Amino acid sequence: MLQQRTIKTLTRSVGVGLHSGQRVELTLRPAAPDTGIVFRRVDLPEPVDIPVSAEAVVDTRMASTIGRGGAKVHTVEHLMSACAGLGLDNLYVDITAEEVPILDGSSASFVFLLQSAGVELQNAPRRFIRVKRAVEVREGEGRNLKWARLAPYHGYKLHFEIDFAHPAVDSTEQSAEFDLGSGNYARDIARARTFGFTKDVEMLRANGLALGGGLDNAIVMDDYKVLNTDGLRYDAEFARHKILDAMGDLYLIGHPLLAAYTAFRSGHALNNQLLRALLAQQDAWEFVSFEREREAPQGFASPVAAW
Ligand SMILES: [Zn+2]
């Protein structure tokens, strides 16, 4: 049987929120089978649990925000991406502010934390959402066109194309592909950082965003070049980060997907619309689990890949 997974012991981290700039403590704790991933605002007078789901997404400007009854958690996508990449089903995420810490702007620190805690196999079958029919969402036209699509695939792979007319981005590949069955998330995707442009920073800060952002937790570019002295971590780091984001956004559906995701200039908003469009078409998907490991997609039954 392909089993559900949680972590073995609790683990903690402290950082700042990318947009709020607030100090925040994060505690990741094991959770029982079929709990799913649940964010808990432990700083509120009465702690509020926010289980992830496509419908729990209440804001997608600059980051994915989930909420329940007025309580919110911003910027959940990088931690969710690490959970998707490591195949974790059940986890409590206790948080002392309304934004997940940005750490180094990638999901590598979350992967490190989760792997240090150890992965525990649980006595319950993993429940996948298998896409049976292609579903696509689109926005804009011509130069403003964006789209994202999920299609049937026995496994999970993502292809992302960006289109930034910027010399530093242009000098790298503007597309990337990742297959969870044959690739290694920690090695190929997790270290890709979020990115931004100095010309946008003033506008963002005037709107109370990116207050915690800087060269320690983002690739920052002026009109011509990357300002980080160490340069890029990967070829196609920009496109790889968009895959990292998409894996996090899509994992908010609450189950691992069996699908091929393809996207052109998509973002948090369109990724969430894609999940809602899929769920709205009941003949386009089904729940599946694997009693026999050999029936599972290649690579899915193996233990979590190490660094
Ligand atoms: Zn991101």
Mean pLDDT of 133-145: 95
pTM, two decimal places: 0.96
Supply the CATH classification number for the domain 128-295. Answer: 3.30.1700.10
Listed in sequence order, the DSSP H helices in 193-256 are 198-206, 237-251
Classified as helix, coil or strand, 241 is helix
Mean pLDDT of 147-168: 95
Q: How far is the CA of 194 from the centre of ligand 1 (A)?
A: 5
Torsions phi, psi for 150 (to 5 deg): -115, 135
Rounded to whole angstroms, how far apart are CA atoms 288 and 286?
A: 6
Return residue ranges of the chain for CATH 3.30.230.20: 3-125
Expressed in percent and rounded to 5, the helix, strand and coil fractions of the chain are 25, 30, 45
The reply to whether 78 belongs to the active site is: no
Q: How far is the CA of 179 from the centre of ligand 1 (A)?
A: 19
Residues 263-291 have pLDDT tens digits of 999 999 999 999 999 999 999 999 999 99
Q: How far is the CA of 189 from the centre of ligand 1 (A)?
A: 11
Return residue ranges of the chain for CATH 3.30.1700.10: 128-295
Fold that domain 3-125 belongs to in CATH: Ribosomal Protein S5; domain 2 (3.30.230)
Residues 33-59 have pLDDT tens digits of 999 999 999 999 999 999 999 999 999
CA distances from 278 to 56, 130, 257, 264 (A): 15, 11, 11, 18
| Burial class (CB within 10 angstroms; exposed 0-12, middle 13-18, buried 19+) of 149 | buried
Q: How far is the CA of 254 from the centre of ligand 1 (A)?
A: 19
Per-residue pLDDT, 304: 57
Torsions phi, psi for 104 (to 5 deg): -95, 15
| 8 A C-beta contact, residue 77 and residue 248 | yes
Per-residue pLDDT, 303: 58
Q: How far is the CA of 61 from the centre of ligand 1 (A)?
A: 12
| Cα first-last separation, the chain | 25
List 19, 78, 159, 268, catalytic entry: 268
